[in-house]
């Protein structure tokens, strides 16, 4: 018979921290719903949020800091809508997740949440997301509503293409448009360039993530860039990450950001180089660590943009 500590560990989903706050502190009756929204694995929220914050910072006038209220609204929106997207994903993958070691403990395949309960939880999250979206200007509301198209398409992409990471990029970087629209009331060239750069970033980090599941994916017949690239993954990552850095720097050039922006962007580029050089596509733990490290990259880019709005005094 398992003791309580062993039972607690048995509930923890494979790619969640052993010390995640949901398993440690959340009431047991809500834990499955929080896990359905990946609140026990917050990295996805950060990856969804940073393009929003980048766009807000880029749209801010020179010599000023981004609006803290908008920063908070986008943080709440990313938390809620990432949860909604993950719920849609788990509903779509409910017959697949039980066959994959890393995902078999997820709430739906493990029987902790029924399909009906998951749909109710999804509706609740979408309602919260709508309330947050309505705090923005009318143009931003329209832009935000259109993003649902990509949120719904992504979970099914791996069934028909080896590039589901591209569709994830379309959804996860939509904040580049929405953040700009929330400040400017339009979708400008800068937000388009940032969006494209973000898609390449997602292609990179989610290919690394997908290498954890490549054996299971091949067995059950779903596709990914990890399977497509194989041993050539490092070369593809080099291309993706180079285009990411180039796009973000181009935004800085067009906006005439200060030298501080370029200095910090050099550090951001160094971080991506470190990811590529230390990647072992056959080491799942290493892949997960490098994937999660993109939270650091996102933070460096944000600091670079904010700092670039100010001219240094030497």
Residue-level pLDDT at 3: 47
Residue-level pLDDT at 104: 77
Q: Which residue has the tokens 């050039």?
A: 253
Residue-level pLDDT at 215: 81
In this prediction the pTM is: 0.91
Assigned CATH topology for domain 29-308: Tetracycline Repressor; domain 2 (1.10.357)
Q: How many CB atoms lie within 10 A of CB 164?
A: 22
Report the alpha-carbon distance of residue 264 to residue 250 in Å, rounded: 14
Residue-level pLDDT at 16: 66
What does each of the 314 residues of the chain score in pLDDT, given as a tens digit?
Answer: 444 444 445 567 666 677 788 888 889 899 999 998 999 889 999 999 999 999 999 999 999 999 999 999 999 999 999 999 999 988 988 877 777 767 777 888 888 999 999 999 999 999 999 999 999 999 999 999 988 899 888 888 888 899 999 999 999 999 999 999 999 999 999 999 999 999 999 999 999 999 988 887 777 778 899 999 999 999 999 999 999 999 999 999 999 999 999 999 999 999 999 999 999 999 999 999 999 999 999 999 999 999 999 988 65
Per residue in 124-165, pLDDT tens? 999 999 999 999 999 999 999 988 899 888 888 888 899 999
Report the alpha-carbon distance of residue 119 to residue 81 in Å, rounded: 14
Residues in CB range of 21: below 8 A, 6 or more apart: 39, 40
Residue-level pLDDT at 93: 82
Q: 301, 54 in Cβ contact below 8 A? A: yes
Annotated domain spans of the chain = 29-308
Report the alpha-carbon distance of residue 86 to residue 125 in Å, rounded: 11
């Amino acid at each position: 018979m398992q003791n309580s500590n062993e039972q607690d560990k048995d509930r923890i989903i494979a790619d969640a921290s052993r010390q995640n706050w949901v398993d440690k502190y959340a009431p047991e009756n809500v834990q499955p719903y929080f896990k359905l929204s990946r609140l026990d694995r917050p990295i996805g929220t950060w990856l969804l949020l940073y393009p929003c914050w980048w766009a807000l910072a880029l749209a801010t006038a020179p010599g000023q800091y981004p609006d803290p209220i908008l920063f908070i609204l986008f943080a709440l929106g990313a938390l809620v809508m990432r949860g909604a997207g993950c719920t849609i994903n788990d509903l779509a993958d409910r017959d697949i997740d039980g066959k994959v070691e890393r995902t078999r403990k997820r709430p739906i395949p493990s029987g902790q949440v029924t399909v009906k309960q998951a749909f109710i939880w999804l509706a609740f999250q979408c309602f919260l997301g709508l309330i947050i979206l309505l705090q923005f200007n009318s143009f931003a509301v329209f832009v935000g509503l259109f993003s649902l198209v990509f949120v719904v398409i992504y979970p099914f992409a791996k069934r028909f293409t080896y590039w589901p990471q591209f569709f994830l990029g379309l959804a996860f970087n939509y904040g580049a448009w929405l953040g700009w629209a929330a400040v400017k009331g339009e979708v400008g060239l800068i937000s388009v360039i940032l969006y494209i750069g973000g898609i390449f970033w997602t292609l990179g980090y989610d290919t690394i993530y997908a290498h954890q599941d490549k054996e299971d994916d091949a067995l059950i017949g779903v596709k990914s860039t990890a399977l497509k690239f194989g041993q050539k993954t490092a070369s593809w990552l080099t291309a993706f990450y180079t285009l990411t850095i180039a796009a973000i720097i181009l935004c800085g050039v067009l906006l005439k950001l200060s030298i501080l922006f370029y200095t910090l962007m050099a550090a951001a580029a160094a971080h991506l180089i470190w990811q590529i050089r230390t990647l072992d596509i056959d080491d799942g733990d290493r892949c997960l660590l490098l994937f999660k490290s993109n939270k650091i990259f996102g933070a460096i880019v944000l600091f670079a943009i904010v700092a670039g709005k100010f001219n240094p005094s030497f």
